[in-house]
Each structure stands twice: as structure tokens, then as C-alpha cells.
Structure 1
Amino acid sequence: MLTRVNFAQLLFPDFSLILCGYLICRYTPLGRAVWDQVESLVYYFLFPVLLFHSIVKSPLDLGATSSLIAAGLLMGVSGIAMAYALPHLPWLGRHIDAREHAGAAQVAFRFNSFVALAIAEKLAGAQGLLLIAVLIGFCVPLFNVAAVWPMARHGEAHLGRALLRNPLIIATVSGLVANLLGLKVPGWLDPTLSRIGAASLALGLMSAGAGMQFGTLGQAKALAVSVLAIRHLLLPLVAFGLARLLRLDPAQTAVLLAFSALPTASSCYVLASRMGYNGAYVAGLVTLSTLLGVASLSFALVALR
């Protein structure tokens, strides 16, 4: 059942961890080099364990979640289409550099999985974790392909190999298969996996804060405003319409609205840098998106009323 909580109380703990990560990275000896290793630990081990455990421990009815999956994919496709269309809009396209757009378009539709899991658990408990894990499982492959595609046109990119090696996709698919086969985690192992999941949320949120950068936000302002407007204004509106159209239940509606209003993925700047694009500019967009996430999540949660 959807938990009724004060929105400030809901958002403050997670965004305070983001702030802690930023302050620790900037003003203590635990600098960027340390947090690069923390991100790797979370991304390749802690977070996949949390995803797998969240999916396996609760019965999964794909029929009951089919409307939520459809809503999540439709929302994602809408965001991708809007992001791809920006350079072709007659009143906006002339202000957008094609190469900058290729690296930054992903900011408009990708999402921060660490914040997603933390918020979903507070909104709807174990059911919320299961629902957001299913959304992540179905949307991450689509979003990863859409993020890489514009950049791949300007250079070599082994898209299929990257997707097959993605730990989030591996963990989600493994969890779905195990759940549908009726496999369960042994009781003696459950506490350990729960502690790993809790560690992944805290460290993941702090890592998002450690990656924030403010120095490049003045570049390509039209592009920045456009992709962030899609991420934090238009997608929540699309999600609200889809929730009503598909008649989602309260828990599914809460998870979808929160999913639509999340900050963008902190790994956007890593992907842009590794593929030879302006990683510093994308990092600035990620930073501003993380801050705007407070407003857009509040807006989405108010819509639940």
C-alpha cells in the first residue's frame, strides 16, 4: 500500500546524502580518485546485487505489471523522441551544435538508478522496490541504446557488446528468470543481501554528489535548457497522462511518477567522456539535473494527490 509521508521528509535523506558526497569529495582528502573506485564498486557489485535481490524475493506477475511496463517504455520513447528532435526544431535547431547535442541528448531521458531505488522503497516499500526494478530492467537497455546511438554515428562504438556486459541488465535479467522459475534466495543469505542493498543506496547517492560539477553550466545554454526541460518538466507530464490513460493502481502510479521525475544518470558524463565528447559539459548538466530533481520529484509527488 502506498505510504503517506511528508514530501520533505521523503526527499531530504536522499538528497542530504548527495550533498554529503559533494562536500566530502570537494573539501576532504577523499577526492575524485576515491569516488571513482566507489562508483565502480556500486555499479559492478552492490547495485546489481540489490536489483537481483529486489526482483527475486517478491512474487512477480508480469500480467499485473504489464501496464506499468508499457507506461514506462512509452514515457521513455517519448523522452528519446523529444531529445532527438531538438536540433530539427526550426526555432531552436540553429542554436544547438550537433556534436554537443550528440553527447548531451542522453541527459533528457536517462535516470539515476540510485535515487530511483531509494525513493521507490520509501513510496511503496518492498512492492515499490520490485516495481522500480522491473522498470529499470525494461528501460535500461532501451535508454542505453538511445544514449549511445547519436555518439556512435561520429565514431566506433561496440553497442551490442556494451549492452551484453552491462551489470544492471545482467542482474535484472537473471532476477527475472529466477523469479519466473520459482527460485528463492536461501533464508540464511537474505540478511547479507539486504545489507549489501542498503550499502548500495547510501554509497550510490553519495557518489552522485561527488560527481557534481558547476564550472561548465554556461556553455550551450539553449541545449542545456532544452534537455533539462524534457527531463524535469515534460516527462512528468507525460507520465501523469499515461498513468491516467492506462489506469495504473496507486503504487504503480507513484513509482511511475517518481521514475519520470528522477535526476539524470550520473554516468552520463562518463559515457560522453569515454566516447570522445565534452564530458565536462555533460557533467555540468548532470549536476544541475541532480539539483532540479528536488523540484521535479516534489512536483510529481504532489500530483499523487
Structure 2
Amino acid sequence: MNYAQLLFPDFSLILSGYLLCRFTALDRSIWQPVESLVYYLLFPVLLFHSILKSPIELHATANLLAAGVLSGLAGIALAYSLPHWPWLGRHIPRRDHAASAQVAFRFNSFIGLALAERLAGTQGVLLIAVLIGVCVPIFNVAAVWPMARHGERGFVRELLRNPLIIATVTGLTANLLGLRIPTWLEPAVGRVGAASLALGLMSAGAGMQLGLLHRGKLLAAGVLGIRHLLQPLIASVLARLWGLDALQTTILLAFTALPTASTCYVLAARMGYNGAYVAGLVTLSTLLGMLSLPFALSVLRGA
């Protein structure tokens, strides 16, 4: 499988946003309102639709869900603990850590869905949809918590007003209740989702300042190492412990090796943190996915 080809659309949109913002009249004054539109309207619609459109069979995938959630919780714990590691911790800016910890455990669900379809067809899509539906609310809450805590904002208040949290929780609830979007409304909702993905990635490129990664290179190495190396390794161990079959193991390994979510940038920027630094991490994660996906699906699955 050509992973570079799979990841190229996301990377090209990030690059397009960067070039447009730096070398055309479409500067930051244009992209800041776009970020708000994506964060408060387009992405929430996309998340809600993505979770709602695939039925979640919890009983049939209990072991896969357990392994996926546990690997995610391990990633969250590792990301949170970075400032407390010997020697490394004192070189990590706490504010940048609060914004970028999410990079270590969040994932690009659209790349995941496309990859699952290529690996295992409809069955693969259904399995990864279950993981997405259950993990997105958990991971989004985990992404908001360090920023709300560091910014001394009320955590519950931040959750209740966060449009990404609201969309994922309501989507999961509606899915479990068996609700569906009416057929006549599907095309319009799908177009909103497509717009949010393109504009979100281009906004990340527009806000990117790769020079900032040099200032926080140890933090970048930490969160990206957790995302692209430790998460697949943990998933491989859990797949054996939970006795997952070959298909479930493949989907779990793919899920844990995905590039981080493009919404990491939007969330950090809208909560008043260093969005440019997080945008650089999103870009690097997209590139590293070309290494972590073959590692997970070839080396770890073969082992």
C-alpha cells in the first residue's frame, strides 16, 4: 500500500494554506475568521455526522474497543507525564505542553476511514467507526483538560461550551439511540463536512511557523514519539492480551499509527494557545504517518 499517496491530500492542503498565507493577499486577517467558522460550525457538523452515520455494535467489538480505549488512555497518561520525566521535563514549556499534549493521542479519523476501507473493505470501516465513535469524546475531553487547567479556566465550563465536545457526545448518544440523519439532508451535511476538512487543514498551514518547532524540539519529539512509536507498540501488546483476531488486530494497529487530528491546531488556537506551534506538529505528524503506518502494519502485525 502506498502510504505517501494516502497522506498526500492532507499534506498538500496544509502546504497550500501555508503558501497562500505567506505569498498572497490571503494573509492572517483572512484566515482567522476562517478558523472561527471551522471551529464553531463546520467541524462540529463533521464530527456529529461521522459518528452518527455508522451503527456502533458494542457487543461484537468489546475486546477491540477495550484495547483501543486502553491504548488511548496510555497515550494520554504518557502525554500528560512529559513535564515530569527526569531531565526532559525541565526543558518543556508548560504552556506549549498544555496545547500540544493532544497531538500524542488524537488521530485523523478521515485518513483512518480511508485506510480501513483499503485494508479490509466494509468490515474494516465498521470496526474503525466503532473505535472513532467511542474514542473521539474521550480524547477530546482529554485534549481540553490541560488547556483549561493551565489557563485557570473552569474545566466543566470549558467542556460545556466546547463545540467539538458537544458534537461528539451528542453524535455518540444519537448513534446509540438509533437515530439517523434524514436521507434528503445527507448531501448537504456531507458537503459541510468536506468543507470543514479542507478549510481546517488549510488553516493549519496558514497558521504554521515551523521555526517555532526548534524552540520546543524536545516537546515535539516527546508527543510525536508517543503518537507514532509508543502507541502502536502498546496496541500490539494489547492485541495479544485481549486475543484479537487478525482483522481486529490490523484495524487496531492502523488506528494507533494514524497521524494526529488536524483539529488540534484549531482547538489550540481558539483556546488562546500557540496554534502556530501545534500546526507545525500536525504537519510533522502527517509526514511521520508515512513511517508509522508501515511499521505498525508490517513489522508489528508480522511479529
**Preserved contact between residue 31 and residue 206 of structure 2 (Cα < 8 Å):** yes
Deviating 4+ runs (over 6 angstroms): none
Aligned to 1:78: 74
How far apart are 1:81 and its partner, in Å?
1.8
What CA distance in whole angstroms lies between the structure 2 residues aligned with 1:120 and 1:207?
26
The offset of 1:82, in angstroms, is 1.6
Q: Secondary structure at the match of 1:192?
A: helix
Deviates most, 43-52 or 126-135 = 126-135
Equivalent residues in 2 for 1:277-292 (5 A)?
278-292=274-288
TM-score by length of 1: 0.78
**Which residue does 1:213 correspond to in 2?**
209
The code of the aligned residue for 1:50 comes to: L
Q: Distance in 1 between matches of 2:14 and 2:270?
A: 24
2:23 to 27, 30, 34: 27
Amino acid at match of 2:222: S
TM-score normalised by length of structure 2: 0.79
1:233 aligns with 2:235: no
Instruction: Give the aligned length.
Output: 301
Classify the secondary structure of the residue corresponding to 1:185.
coil
Gaps of 5+ in 2: none
CA shift, 1:115, in A, is 4.4
Aligned-residue offset at 1:257: 2.7
Residue ranges of structure 1 left out of the alignment (5+ in a row): none
Instruction: Answer with 220-229 or 74-83: which moved more.
Output: 220-229
- Pick which of 214-223 and 25-34 moved more: 25-34
Compare the two structures and name the one with the higher helix fraction.
2
Label 1:61 to 1:22 Cα distance change in 2 as closer, same or farther (>3 A): same
1:58 maps to a residue whose letter is: S
Q: Does 1:175 align with 2:171?
A: yes
2:34 to 26, 34, 38: 38
Corresponding residue of 1:50: 46
1:159 aligns with 2:160: no
C-alpha contact (below 8 Å) 1:107/1:285 kept by paired residues = yes
Trace 1:63-142 onto structure 2 (pairs within 5 A): 63-113=59-109, 115-117=111-113, 119-120=115-116, 123=119, 130-142=126-138
The code of the aligned residue for 1:293 comes to G
Q: CA deviation at 1:232?
A: 1.7
- Does the 8 Å contact 2:75/2:105 carry over to 1? yes
After superposition, what is the alpha-carbon deviation per residue over 1:199-253, rounded to whole angstroms, capped at 9, x for unaligned? 3333333333333321212214333322221122111221232233334455544
For 2:92 and 2:65, the matched residues in 1 are separated by: 33
Give deviations 1:15-35, integer Å, cap 9, x for gaps.
Answer: 333333333333332333333
The CA deviation at 1:112 is: 4.1
